[in-house]
């Protein structure tokens, strides 16, 4: 597709600035409804069409006296009106709009795919840790590392359980040994 700005492409640019809907602009400019979406995409990629759209938008903005300084003035007036009416909501809205216009306000959108990926990695790490701990537990009771939790519990159930009295004697014996060493 050549980059020449034909009358039909110029018509597309005029229609596009109405609502920024490429498909509808293509149809209104005389392109086929069946191919309007793909035509709009191709037209919007052409530098000559982009330049024409930019020129038309600039002309429209000047005609409506829309400039950054004018927008700042209007938003400051809105903020003053909200302050006089003691409308905190109005003041916040005006200040937020000013910050967005100045590029100081950045909308934060959570990246759900990244969050899900991090959660999956954390779960994988937890599973590896659990498998390692189960393997160590299995070896501590004389079973292979691949033993199931049920096998580990069964092996533990067959072992004798030390009574509180046995623990007291072990603790007493451990405290007496350092005293005998001196």
Angle between helices 36-45 and 47-63 (to 10 degrees): 90
Residue 16 contacts residue 25 (beta carbons within 8 Å):
yes
Write down the pLDDT at residue 108. 65
Per-residue pLDDT tens over the stretch 74-124: 888 888 998 899 888 988 898 888 888 887 776 665 667 778 888 889 999
List, in order, residues 6 or more apart from 136 with CB less than 8 Å away: 145
Instruction: With cut-offs at 50, 70 and 90, classify the pLDDT of residue 39.
Output: very high
Q: What is the pLDDT of residue 133?
A: 87
pLDDT at 49 exceeding the cut of 90 = yes
| Helix boundaries (H) for the chain | 7-19, 22-28, 36-45, 47-63, 68-84, 88-102, 112-140, 149-158, 164-181
pLDDT reported for residue 65: 66
Q: Give every CB contact of residue 145 below 8 A, 6+ residues apart in sequence.
A: 135, 136, 138, 139
Residue 93 exposed, middle or buried by CB count within 10 Å (0-12, 13-18, 19+): middle
Phi, psi (deg, nearest 5) at residue 148: -80, 160
Q: What is the mean pLDDT of the chain?
A: 85
CA 152 to chain centre: 43
Q: Average pLDDT for residues 115-141, to the nearest whole number?
A: 87
Backbone angles phi, psi at 29, to 5 degrees: -85, -5
């Amino acid at each position: 597709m050549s980059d020449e700005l034909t009358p039909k492409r110029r018509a597309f640019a005029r229609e596009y600035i109405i609502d920024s809907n490429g498909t509808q602009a293509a149809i209104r400019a005389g392109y086929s409804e069946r191919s309007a979406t793909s035509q709009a995409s191709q037209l919007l990629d052409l530098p000559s069409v982009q330049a024409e759209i930019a020129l038309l938008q600039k002309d429209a903005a000047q005609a409506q006296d829309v400039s950054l300084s004018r927008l700042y003035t209007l938003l400051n007036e809105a903020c003053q009106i909200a302050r006089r009416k003691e409308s905190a909501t109005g003041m916040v809205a005006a200040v937020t709009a000013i910050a967005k216009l100045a590029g100081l306000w950045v909308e934060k959108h959570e990246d759900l795919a990244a969050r899900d990926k991090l959660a999956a990695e954390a779960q994988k790490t937890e599973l590896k840790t659990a498998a390692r701990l189960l393997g160590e537990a299995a070896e501590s009771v004389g079973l292979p590392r691949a033993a199931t939790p049920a096998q580990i519990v069964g092996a533990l159930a067959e072992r004798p359980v030390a009574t509180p009295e046995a623990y007291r004697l072990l603790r007493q014996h451990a405290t007496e040994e350092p005293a005998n060493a001196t």
